[in-house]
Structure 1
Amino acid sequence: MARKIKDLKDTNLLGRKRLPIERVVSSEDGAYEEVVPMVKEIETETTEAREELLQKCQAIFTRTDFPVLNRDFHKKFLESPLSHKLPPGMVSLDASGPWMIYWVANGLKVLDESCLARETQRRIYQKLFGISTVGGPFGGGLGQLPHLASTYAAINALAICENVDNCWDSINKDSIYNWLLTLKRKDGGFQTCYKVGEYDTRGVYCAISVASMLGLLTEDLCKNVVQFLVDCQNYEGGFGAVSHEDEAHGGYTFCAVASLAILGALDKVNLDKLADWCSQRQFNGEKGLSGRSNKLVDVCYSFWVGGVASILEAYGYGPCIEKDALRDYILCCCQMTNRPGIRDKPGTNPDFYHTNYGLLGLAITENTFRLDKTVPHAFKITSTIIDQDRASGLTAINPVYGLPNKDLELFYKHFT
């Protein structure tokens, strides 16, 4: 039998939103009911949401056979903001202009190298240099303070413009470098904005990524950065935001691992525990990846966590996720037949963020990665899809930077 505990009214307990349920084991004629493990006894909003999502995914898997990527459908979705105003619900994202440009343009480039027309590339650099008339660093929009995240997104977006009209020469390396030094902390971290920004592993990655692409990785800029990142790995094996035993998170873990890869310091952390943590983010039922323990799967972690797995693979530390299963999740559960774009999970709607990172994650699942020692920060990428009718035909991407591999190589060579 089961009964609710009605006399428990302690509202001071953290996270307590409703009364727990106590199950009492009774006996009749000497026959005992099976005792269910306590973890099964506790129902929360998270466990209920996970059960609901699991049922949705299982239903989709049973009726979907040999899924393929609806390339033309998603191309229309990504091209729409290039010729139409944002819908009312997305107007606030105008303050994140470089991010919007990167998600849309990079998604198109990953779909097909020819999807990003020269005229579109021209409009991209004109828009970005309109935000920062001195060529960087970049804010989220005209008149905003320069920000590490916006600068990272802007440099990535410019990197896929193939130097149209020699636009790369307008990037102000000296200004960006001097600004990065003003954000540098003694402990090796970087504030995201001068004097008022927070600092964590995301800021470190944005700074290190931009600096490496522009050939600005100096001893002063890199001082204590590796130790800052090493201290962010916690007992779970993943990385938190800062070095205070923060909960491991997919986004923070990617930023730390990608930064360590750029700095040649992956061997400074516990890679076995990191690989185990990545493996634990994949669920057998849904087949996708989550960002934290006890959280739902989300297609963006196909890149954030899948990217970490690919970096470990490229550096010779072996596979730690099931790529075929992840591919099934992306293609079966994150595409819709009546709407273009990639959604994070069944029951949600597509958006530009999840479309970009879903495509990056899909590119990871269909290839193997090996470090190319002849070109700094580059990879040798081999397709694993034998049946070309099932292959998504996506552009090979560099998992450290989230960019098409060829574009990154051209950009890197231009500045170094």
Structure 2
Amino acid sequence: MAELTSTEALPTRAYVLHPDLGQARNQRREPEHALAEAVALAHALPGIEIVGDEVARLREPNPGMLFGKGKLAEIGQRLEAVEAELVLIDGPVTPVQQRNLEKAWDVKILDRTGLILEIFADRARTREGVLQVELAALSYQRTRLVRAWTHLERQRGGLGFVGGPGETQIEADRRAIDEQMTRLRRQLERVVKTRTLHRAARAKIPYPIVALVGYTNAGKSTLFNRMTGAEVMAKDMLFATLDPTMRAIRLPDAAGGTSGRKIILSDTVGFISDLPTELVAAFRATLEEVLEADLILHVRDISHPETEEQAQDVAEILESLGVDEDVELIEVWNKIDALSEDTRKALRRTDARTEGVQAVSALSGEGLDDLVAAIDTHLARALDEPRESASVTLPFSDGRRRAWLHEAGVVEREEAGEDGLTLHLRWTARQKGAFYAMDETPEES
């Protein structure tokens, strides 16, 4: 038999546990659905092979071990049977509990926050995203190390040259983490300044921003790709998109042409229940496009059994980010292709009667024409842009700006004169700003 020569590492055998506290738990989510989401999170981390999962029911968490003796032994036997190397616990685990469980089961333990941080670290691509993940990870690590080492009272003595016990290890490591976090914040400030410059540049081309938000894996990136023709990573996987992606697109006009309103469409990181507080703070800058949006598209996986609970989680995160309640919002009920034909037709009838709701399938394209029309209607209402009359004289050779004005649909008539073409316009402040942001633009007459 030929020997295996591959040096590729074998996947880590992982077991997923969702602790269910019964009457004490949050009743908004069924434990079985929470476990399914935890398994999906685990699948989103590369190099992991799921060898088992279960809902572990307990009356109350044990301060030292999380689980009682009987449950601890019972789970330990199952872990040994499947040869698990890693246990992913879908919930918070204290440093003391983590250390004790690792010792009892002889496996590595990762809680929900640690798992999400690992996924984010693997997926972040932009400089800002990488820095934010590192900052969040250090914040998480600092809290855990402080608690763990306070409990252990670990102390490092000096070399004996000076005398005395020396500084405690907790103080040294806390200072090292703080110094690294300070360096990261400075780097992040420089990156944010660059993004501020980019926003200032966009302000010179003041198209309305339409931001896609929603629970992770709701289909935002698929919808983004369908509307823009982009190729953003879109997989049936939690946190497929981490870094914000923006594209300028032109909405079709009423006649189906391409001379309608131009917008900037922004795809954002997916939200999730119990998002680690470290990540909410660290990714606030990433979600700044949502704060500046003229219109928010809340994309929901309407086929998910807990779509209402997911929608509530998104609403709470938007509120925590400080999103203005007055911002126009459309609920996009996505993935209707996953429903029965009768249910799909019923949803389409509902969206026709309900303001601010659009049922679509980003995968098949069903309902997207109605969604685009709704976007245009909502933007017109949100922006409430008054138009003013103006006239601009262009040299005959300036075909580019003449074409731009005609494409924007602001030209009422034009006249030829000795110095060039005089165009009589009716435009909004945004359109005027965009026109005058073009280099070598002539004076308004």
Tell me if TM exceeds 0.5: no
Pick 1 or 2: higher relative contact order, CA cutoff 8 A, min separation 6. Answer: 1
Normalised TM-score (structure 2): 0.27
The structure with the largest alpha-carbon Rg is 2
User: More helix per residue: 1 or 2?
Assistant: 1
User: More strand per residue: 1 or 2?
Assistant: 2
